[in-house]
Amino acid sequence: NATINKIAAGEVIERPASVVKELVENSLDAEATSIKVEITSDNNGIAKIRISDDGYGMDADSALISFSRHATSKISKISDLYEISTMGFRGEALASIAAVSKVTMITKQRTLEPSPGTKIVIEGGDVVEQSPVSAPDGTSIFVEKLFFNTPVRKKFLKSVKTEFTHIFRVVEEASLANSGISFQLLHNGKVSLSTGKSGSVLDTITYVYGTEYAKEMIPVKSLQTFMKVDGFCAPPSLDAPNSRKIIISVNNRPVYSLPLVQAVKRAYGTLLPRERYPVCFLNIRIDRKVVDVNVHPAKKEVRFSREKEITEEIVASVREALDSRNL
Ligand code: ADP
Ligand code: MG
């Protein structure tokens, strides 16, 4: 139902950056090794968004089904919800995006024998074209006319600069959380971020913020075995390259968790004035059972069942890193 889809879309798709976030997550779930995000803007705002990946793609049937609400190939039994290993699981993103824009998807499944790709065009939730096409393995999704049928939402969008900053953050966080995957972000054809896929977080920091910045970073490693921390923190004197300072991912998912941010801040103690936050990039690996990602439709906020142990381990490992430099 078109109305329900439009309302539900509002929860997941707030702004252009939400589109980018959902589509990048889908590419990650499709085991892409390389993800390209192309943004086109004009005087009226962010006009077009294209995400291309080299992931496993979809056959013609799955491609069509992927746009229906609660179509997810990722959860098959209810217990899966408690041990989520994929970025997506609600089956809402594509249906929501398609409800409020015009989407052109070109996808081709990785197969041994030659097979055709599929092109699907959906506008405001209605399929207007479906045809076989020749295409490389993987999926590309082109979104235009975003919020064309929800004028109120459109009115609340900020300037191109602000919306692009949100998009940049999404790709920045995704690339730091997935250093084994190469990301590219282009704005009106100009490269804004480009990473390799070496698997080293420090390499990603170098790609995103530059060599000089990366040189200052201090490695952070976990001390306990129940969780693995792999990251880098900056000496207190180093300021953030942009407004984001603490970026944390849990099992490759960029997350927002106030207790974890406060733990990092606590580790610096009196090295920083009260109102200043340090620069710190942490990737955490932990048993999926202790992480609840199903708190919010956008899946950004997470909760932990062993929060105290986790925050204490963060404080200890960041402090150990700072101590190693006699800070
Ligand atoms: P979810 O990610 O929660 O399953 P989505 O609406 O984001 O829901 O996507 C619906 C389905 O479409 C996915 O479960 C997946 O099977 C398929 N899909 C979406 N994007 C891609 C992609 N880039 N490559 C392969 N399959 C995809
Ligand atoms: Mg998804």
In a domain, 22, yes or no: yes
The dihedral over CA atoms of 258, 28, 294, 233, expressed in degrees to the nearest 10, equals -10
State mean pLDDT over 218-227. Answer: 93
State mean pLDDT over 168-193. Answer: 97
How far is Cα 50 from Cα 23, in angstroms, rounded to an integer?
9
Domain count, the chain: 2
Instruction: Identify which of 271, 242, 255 has the alpha carbon closest to the alpha carbon of residue 307.
Output: 255
Edge to edge, what strands does the sheet with 218-221 contain?
218-221, 227-233, 280-286, 246-250, 253-255
Tell whether 107 and 160 lie within a shared domain: yes
State mean pLDDT over 104-122. Answer: 94
In a domain, 233, yes or no: yes
Tell whether 21 and 91 lie within a shared domain: yes
Cβ of 90 below 6 Å from ligand 1: yes
Q: What distance lies between CA 259 and its chain's CA centroid?
A: 21
The CATH number assigned to the domain holding 164 equals 3.30.565.10
Tell whether 32 and 94 lie within a shared domain: yes
Cβ of 74 below 6 Å from ligand 1: yes
- Return the ∠ at Cα 255 (arms to 67 and 141), rounded to 5°: 25
Q: Whose CA is nearest to atom 20 of ligand 1?
A: 26
Cβ of 294 below 6 Å from ligand 1: no
Q: What is the residue-averaged pLDDT of the chain?
A: 90
Tell whether 162 and 227 lie within a shared domain: no
pTM reported for the whole predicted model: 0.92
Tell whether 186 and 263 lie within a shared domain: no
Residue 17: both structure tokens together: 């950056």
How far is Cα 9 from Cα 294, in angstroms, rounded to an integer?
17
Cβ of 71 below 6 Å from ligand 1: yes
Tell whether 177 and 32 lie within a shared domain: yes
- Cα(54) to ligand 2 centroid in Å equals 16
Lowest mean pLDDT segment, chosen from 17-31, 140-154, 298-312? 298-312
Tell whether 177 and 52 lie within a shared domain: yes
Q: Which amino acid would we find at residue 218? A: I
Cβ of 53 below 6 Å from ligand 1: yes
Band (156; pLDDT cuts 50, 70, 90): confident
In a domain, 90, yes or no: yes
Tell whether 38 and 178 lie within a shared domain: yes
- Cα(72) to ligand 2 centroid in Å equals 8
Higher-confidence position of 178 and 7: 178
